[in-house]
A and B are shown apart, each in its own frame.
Chain A
Amino acid sequence: MNTFWMQSKAETVRMLRNKYYIFWSLLVPVLFYFLFTNIFIAPREDDGLWNLHYLMSMTTFSIMGSSMMTLGIKIVQEKAEGWTIFLKITPLSQFIYYGAKMVAQTVIHLFSILVIFTAGILINDVSLLFSQWLFCGIWILFGSLPFLALGTIIGTIKKVETASGISNLLYMSMAITGGMWMPIEVFPSFMQQVAKWVPSYHFANGAWEIIRNHYPSFSSYLMIIGYLVLFMVLSTYIGKKREAV
């Protein structure tokens, strides 16, 4: 138990010391939020709702990024530098190694959620019921799971450069197709159909529903769980195949 606690603590500390995390997962989403709710304003029916909607977009955008990028690239880096090999000759189990990474990610995500929600309150004075804030937070933590699994798939890539390139590409395309940067209603109808099948859309959509006093739809739950299972199976399969060599 002590090992698990120490490992989780170390992983959390490492993430908080990561400058890329601070920049990409905290500063960039908050800056985008400020720009798209205060500077580039298109005529809207309901400014208050837009401010909340975009806050959820940016929070999910941030969490999706740290799940895929920080987790995946760190795993690749630790492999490339031989650190994972060293761990294999210590009594540390794979379960604790990955488990602690997941705990650290969750702690960090909670921190990101608090920072970005607070930024929303400070910048645009947005308001929600406490239960809605809470539900949004819980939904976002839950919805991050398939992206963490995707992060472990990225973690099976051999080179840091490849991993960083692929994860960036995936990250940006999922952010756009999922409607995190601009609502999918402005997309052509074909793109709107595509959005319904990408995990990022369902991830953000759950939160968008909550701020509109709805529950996340059944299909969003289904997609999140479906993609989680798919990515976990893929990650295990690729991992096993790599190990066999």
Chain B
Amino acid sequence: MQTIVELKNVTKEFQQKKAVNDVSFSIKQGEMVAILGANGAGKTTTMRMMLGLMKPTRGTVSLFQKDPKHKEVLERVGGMLQEVSVMDSLKVKELIQLIQSYYQHPLELSSLLELTGLHEEEWNKRTEKLSGGQKRRLNFALALAGNPDLLFLDEPTVGMDVTARENFWRKIKELNKQGKTILFTTHYLQEADEVAERIIMINKGEVVGDGTPEQLKGKLTKPRVRFQEKISYPIDFYRTLPFVVEVQKEKETVTLIATNADQLLKEIFDRQLNIHHIEVKLGRLEEVFSQLMEDTKEVDSNEHLLDAK
């Protein structure tokens, strides 16, 4: 598959502060990628540089092997940005038709109206009379007006309720199946985990993880073996077992955090420990995520990052 997004050593500084620091990655056609990070981690800045709205201080960004601002690129890209309202004093239908006219090969009106999720009687409503959620859906439809091959979504589900969110992601997955490349930012870990095929984790402006949710979990999280003791063993005994990195004990419940759960279990059975109710849990991405955030917080707690807006 063809590479359509490429960032090479991209750095963005605001008044000497690095919002994005030496970020490199590439995205191939048809991928569904989440850029995951806490607020102020540099997600929005990265996305705005990819869209050509900001120039990197150093490094290069290319979409379809061209400058993001190239007219041919703009024809093939759609975006739903944060803090973007809709043009006022126009009716929903009028606005969609207007945006369609910007593109050579727009998506047809009926599909776009359907994408807004608005009822037919609201198609003739003025945009300023729509609710926040409805405006967001309209923004989504407008992002697709040009039938783009590459879709950027910056924190698309902020402010949506659970049902709206589910519907939204169902639609996005459908679009991805049609072959569209989708790139979205989020600070909801669960969302990235459930929706994306690939997660790029960003913290303090740097890429701290890049892979499928499973790969990230495997690489960053360690499995836990938990059981109940029938007779009590001292903590130090557990520490001597191979592959164990950490021991937690609460009454008769023992949790061993291990580098390799399979090997540890073999060891436990070989030694015939007097225990029962054995469970093996894979690490949760959430824990890794917050752990990562914690780690870097300790390193430089005084440094504030500029939220680029």
Interface residues of A, Cβ cutoff 8 Å to B: 2-3, 6-7, 10, 13-14, 17-18, 77-78, 81-83, 85-86, 88-92
Complex A-B: 19 CB contacts under 8 Å? A3-B101, A13-B89, A14-B87, A14-B89, A82-B81, A82-B85, A83-B86, A83-B87, A86-B142, A89-B77, A89-B152, A90-B74, A90-B103, A90-B145, A90-B146, A91-B71, A91-B74, A91-B102, A92-B102
In the complex, residue of chain A having the shortest beta-carbon distance to the beta carbon of B72: A91
CB proximity to A under 8 Å, residues B46-60: 51-53
B205 CB → nearest A CB, Å? 19
In the complex, residue of chain B having the shortest beta-carbon distance to the beta carbon of A92: B102
In the complex, residue of chain B having the shortest beta-carbon distance to the beta carbon of A87: B102
Among B91-99, B112-120, B284-292, which stretch is in contact with chain A?
B91-99
- Tell me whether B52 and A89 are in contact (CB under 8 A): yes
In the complex, residue of chain B having the shortest beta-carbon distance to the beta carbon of A90: B102
- Tell me whether B89 and A85 are in contact (CB under 8 A): no
User: A83–B90 Cα gap in the complex (Å)?
Assistant: 13
- Tell me whether B101 and A17 are in contact (CB under 8 A): no
User: A13–B98 Cα gap in the complex (Å)?
Assistant: 12
Q: Kindly name the residue among A14, A17, A89, A92 whose own CB sees the greatest number of chain B CB atoms within 10 A.
A: A89
| Interface of chain B: mostly helix, strand, loop or mixed | loop
User: A14–B95 Cα gap in the complex (Å)?
Assistant: 11
User: A92–B99 Cα gap in the complex (Å)?
Assistant: 9
In the complex, residue of chain A having the shortest beta-carbon distance to the beta carbon of B126: A17
In the complex, residue of chain A having the shortest beta-carbon distance to the beta carbon of B142: A86
User: A113–B53 Cα gap in the complex (Å)?
Assistant: 40
Nearest 7 CB-CB pairs, A to B? A82-B84, A81-B85, A14-B89, A6-B101, A91-B74, A17-B89, A89-B79
With A88-B53, A89-B79, A91-B71 given, is the CB distance from A14 to B98 under 8 Å?
Answer: no
- Tell me whether B53 and A89 are in contact (CB under 8 A): yes
| Cβ–Cβ < 8 Å partners of A18 in chain B | 89
| Cβ–Cβ < 8 Å partners of A81 in chain B | 84-85
A43 CB → nearest B CB, Å? 46
| Cβ–Cβ < 8 Å partners of B85 in chain A | 81-83
- Tell me whether A14 and B90 are in contact (CB under 8 A): yes
| Cβ–Cβ < 8 Å partners of A85 in chain B | 53, 81, 84
In the complex, residue of chain A having the shortest beta-carbon distance to the beta carbon of B55: A244
With A7-B98, A89-B51, A91-B71 given, is the CB distance from A14 to B83 under 8 Å?
Answer: no
